Structure 1
Amino acid sequence: MEVVQVLHMNAGNGEASYANNSQFQEKAIAMAKKITEEAITDVYKSLCPKTVYIADLGCSSGPNTLMEAGELVKAFDKARRNMGHQSPEYAVYLNDLPSNDFNSIFRSLPVHQEDLKKEMDQEFGPCFFAGVAGSFYGRLFPANSLHFVHSSISLHWLSQVPKGLEENKDNIRVVASSPPSVVKAYHEQFECDFSSFLKCRAKELVTGGRMVLYFLGRRCEDHISSYNNVWELLVKVLNNLSAEGVVDEEKVNSFNFPIYWASPNEVKMVVEKEGSFSIEYLDNFMYDLENEKHIDTGNFLVNSFRAVLEPIVASHFGEEITEEIFKRKKTLILESIHELQKVEFFNVVSMTKK
């Protein structure tokens, strides 16, 4: 599986589009807002740049993309007003893989820019936006050019499916029941990828620049805390299709997601081993869907999982069977909605370039 080509959210504005099914991502942004604002205040106070360069990595598309970009700019503007400074200019880079729906972002950009101008005072400096297509596991920006890097619900995606997963039958990712060799393969891929991410950002950030990253994770060192039975329903669907002879058994056994739920301790160990950053804040947050009384839980789970997973499933199994796969998964979700785990954990880490 070429992750760079197939890892993108469902485009457009349909029922199963990411634009209409990214409430969890929006909630994560809100939960991490205080940490993000504190980091921005610190970096502005220490550097006072005349032009602020911000990068949002793994920006995806939909309403959250430009909303969060605007929040980052507003946090910088609040910091400069508190210090009585003239407004800097802003350059905001929106990054994702080339297959991302950048077109929808830029169609929405003129309205967003106008709304941002109306919200800010007359001293607010010009704000420029640019799209940067490419993997954040490689270099994206000139050396010593960025002041602040943000990434929301993206870094749990790996650069590739780890090698050596032949024994991971009846699983589509690393879980508590995975053999030790599979756990090791996933952990090593995470460590390699996250280290590469840090090395690249260390070159691109100015000294004293900050990063705030939040991504899916687990609470404990074992993988029991990364268990989510909504994911496992997809395994059940695939096994049923294989038993019926609709999908080849070998195709099912060879299917694994390039995704890893790291623990806070694993995040800390990679940061300290790579050595370019000092951690200012690290914690693990919990999002409980049961607290969202305004959300239709069943349809939310059905559509949000499809919005994220459909392109990868279609790439491996083919477009012709994908509709049937998600039709069956929807049935299973709605049948077992009261028994499903509706909690996600994510790591939040704020760090400074040394």
Structure 2
Amino acid sequence: MESVVETLHMNKGAGETSYAMNSSLQRKLISLTKQAVEKAIKEILCSQRGPTMKMGIADLGCSTGPNALMVISEIVQTIYETSNTLNRLAPKELMLYLNDLFTNDFNNIFVSLPSFYKKIGQEKEHNQSKNNNIGDFGPTCFVSAVPGTFYGRLFPTKSINFFHSSSSLHWLSRVPIGLKDESARRLNTGKLYISKSTPNSVIEAYSQQFQNDFSCFLESRSLEMVDEGRMVLSFLGRESTDPAAIYGCYHWELLAQALMAMVSEGLVEEEKVDSFNLPYYACCYEELKMVIEKEGSFMVDSLETNEIDWDEGIESERGEGVARAVRAILESILEYHFGSHIMDDLFGRYAQILDHHFSRTKAKCFTFNISLVKRRE
């Protein structure tokens, strides 16, 4: 597996192992950007010289389940409230775009749209009744799905005022090139991602892939965004400059242990593990800053970091709950490579390993929340 366009998607539907039922950590990440989103929306509205007729807003990597519509609902609410505070008309039309890869479960989102539109209508009536002295505070919302990778163009030139993305940019466009030596021998054996035993050449390949991808992301968004448009991004990263630092990779290291236990019992071929590497990268601040400055299209308005409990919002046994959450994210690409027949056994073992890990240490993940402003051309 190299490109993730056709293989990576969150588990569909609303069952026990679905993403819709196992995305509390991602919901927490979204909540942490609330202030940055409110500030960005206020700055966009304040920068308009006259009444704003329309705004283009895109959520990149929207996934599926309740979080998808929660994001755009809160953005619309922020536009209402900010317009009210500024004592001015809200934009008449909001173009709300939901983006994810082609295999995303968009249907799960679509069936929830009637309740979304009903809520927006109620907010519109509420704001109108409070502010009938200056006109209609409620824009008309048009929700569309835009399937495709955000590591490339998605929208027409200068059509978007605000981009949002949460829990997505740690996923790479592909497994990095360069994970084999000159004799085609695999270098990251027995692992799924970077670990303490990973060769430097593999680490450099991962870092380079991140730099290429994130630079492409920024360049694409700069072409699609209006001058002085804004973007709020949140994603997993690492605090240390060491790519093998525990917060950046321990959960993948433990999953590799579960797979290698199955190898030792003859349930999985060792070559299958050796030939699998995750299209994922937890960058550090220095890498993030370097790519933004080198690409040059955006200025950093704010950058915050947070530590979050990996079992955030999980009500069941911690190991079992975290294993289900990881399964909801990774099952599609693991199934593509290893087959569906090992999934129950694999994640059962993973849950046990996680329980043991949690008994000895508090599991944390490290996140970046960054707000960017497009430079004037």
Q: TM-score range by the shorter chain?
A: over 0.9
* TM-score (ref. length: structure 2): 0.90
Report deviation, 1:323: 2.5
Structure-1 residue corresponding to 2:174: 160
Amino acid across the alignment from 1:36? V
Range 300-309 or range 139-148, more displaced: 300-309
Whether the aligned pair in 2 keeps the contact of 1:219 and 1:225 (CA below 8 Å) is: no
Larger mean CA deviation between 24-33 and 332-341 belongs to: 332-341
Matching residue of 1:144 = 158
SS at match of 2:6: helix
**C-alpha separation between the residues in 2 aligned to 1:85 and 1:34?**
21
CA contact (8 A) 1:264 1:283 kept: no
**From 210, 216, 219, the counterpart of 1:190:** 210
Query: Which structure: larger Rg?
Result: 2
Instruction: Say if 1:145 and 1:204, in contact at 8 Å, map to a contact too.
Output: yes
* Number of matched pairs: 354
Question: Of 114, 130, 141, which aligns to 2:144?
Answer: 130
Give the TM-score taking structure 1 as reference length. 0.95
Alignment of 1:43-54 (within 5 A): 43-47=44-48, 49-54=52-57
In 2, the alpha carbon distance for the partners of 1:100 and 1:290 equals 24
Deviation larger for 223-232 or 27-36 = 223-232
Q: Secondary structure at the match of 2:360?
A: coil
- CA-to-aligned-CA distance 1:230-263 (integer Å, 9 cap, x gap): 3222111211222222222111111110000011
The letter for the 1-side match of 2:106 is F
CA distance 1:295–1:323, shift in 2 (3 Å): closer
Residue-by-residue CA offset, 1:192-244 (whole Å, 9 max, x unaligned): 00000001000000000000001000012112143453322211121122222
In structure 1, C-alpha distance between the alignment counterparts of 2:341 and 2:242, rounded to whole Å = 37
Query: What is the CA-CA distance between 1:298 and the residue it aligns to?
Result: 3.1
Q: Which position in structure 1 is the counterpart of 2:269?
A: 248
Give the 3-state SS of the residue equivalent to 1:6 in structure 2. Answer: coil
User: How many angstroms apart in 2 are the aligned matches of 1:291 and 1:65?
Assistant: 18
Q: 2:123 aligns with which of 119, 122, 125?
A: 119
**Superposition pairs for residues 35-50 of structure 1, below 5 Å?**
35-47=36-48, 49-50=52-53
User: Which of 170, 177, 190 matches 2:197?
Assistant: 177
1:240-319 alignment to 2 at 5 Å? 240-289=261-310, 296-319=317-340
Gaps of 5+ in 2: 129-135, 180-185
Gap regions ≥5 residues in structure 1: none
Q: Which residue of 1 aligns with 2:256?
A: 235
Q: Distance in 2 between matches of 1:43 and 1:134?
A: 26
2-structure distance, mates of 1:331, 1:294: 17
Structure 1 counterpart of 2:240 = 220
Is 1:103 aligned to 2:107, yes or no? yes
Q: CA deviation digits over 1:71-121, x for unaligned, max 9? A: 111112222222222221111000000100000100001111102221342
Q: Please report how far the alpha carbon of residue 19 of structure 1 lies from its aligned counterpart in structure 2 after TM superposition.
A: 0.3
Contact 1:288-1:343 within 8 A present in 2 as well: yes
Contact 2:190 2:256 in 1 (8 A): yes
In the alignment, structure 1 residue 346 sits paired with structure 2 residue 367: yes
Q: CA RMSD in A?
A: 1.7
Which is further off, 172-181 or 84-93? 172-181
Aligned AA for 2:156?
P
Instruction: Give the secondary-structure state (helix, strand or coil) at the position aligned to 2:359.
Output: coil
Counterpart selection for 1:211 from 224, 227, 231: 231
Identity %: 43
Give me the whole-angstrom Cα distance separating, in 2, the residues matched to 1:281 and 1:303: 33
* Dislocated runs of 4+, deviation >4 Å: 289-296
